Amino acid sequence: MSEVAIVRARMARSIAPPTPEYSHLRHRVMDVQPTEIKLHQASRVLEVHFANGRAFRLPYELLRVYSPSAEVRGHGPGQEVLQTGKRDVTIASVEQVGHYAIRPTFSDGHDTGIFSWDYLYDLGARQDELWKRYLDQLAAAGASRDP
């Protein structure tokens, strides 16, 4: 599979109109609604386009090490588990979860992270900061990105 596209245009129509007191939330939800998601296997990048016009190219490794799963995040603050040896990880498949998220299956077998649209957007917007933090944590632990 060289490239898989998942189009989300129909999802914007599936969100019920909010009541007036929540109208500010509808704007936020619509902004982070993806219109297209593509897996680029050769470059190991997930490309995601959002309704607000922003687009991000998220390396598979970044997605894997910042998976929102309990395996990575733990069950509370301070329980995070540093992910090592993930440089060559790929995404074997992606499953849509309702109208709010995707669940990728990574080549190392990890498949418990559910990436909400908000979380994907946040990863894209903070990619440089998060990548630096990851590299700093690896260095401090004397660990490697290599398997």
Which CATH number fits the domain 3-137, given the four candidates 3.10.129.10, 3.10.20.30, 3.30.2020.30, 3.30.70.141? 3.30.2020.30
pLDDT tens string 100-110: 999 999 999 99
- Around Cβ 4, how many Cβ atoms within 10 Å? 14
Please check the confidence at residue 28 and state whether its pLDDT lies above 70: no
* CB 40, CB 14: distance < 8 Å: no
- Residue 137 has what pLDDT? 97
**Sign of the C-alpha dihedral, residues 44, 35, 100, 128?**
positive
What is the pLDDT at residue 31?
72
**Token digits of residue 106:** 């990574």
Residue 128 sits at φ, ψ, to 5 deg, of -60, -45
Domain residue ranges in the chain: 3-137
**Identity of residue 47:** E
Nearest C-alpha neighbor of 48 from the set 105, 104, 132: 104
Q: 102 phi and psi, to 5 degrees? A: -130, 155
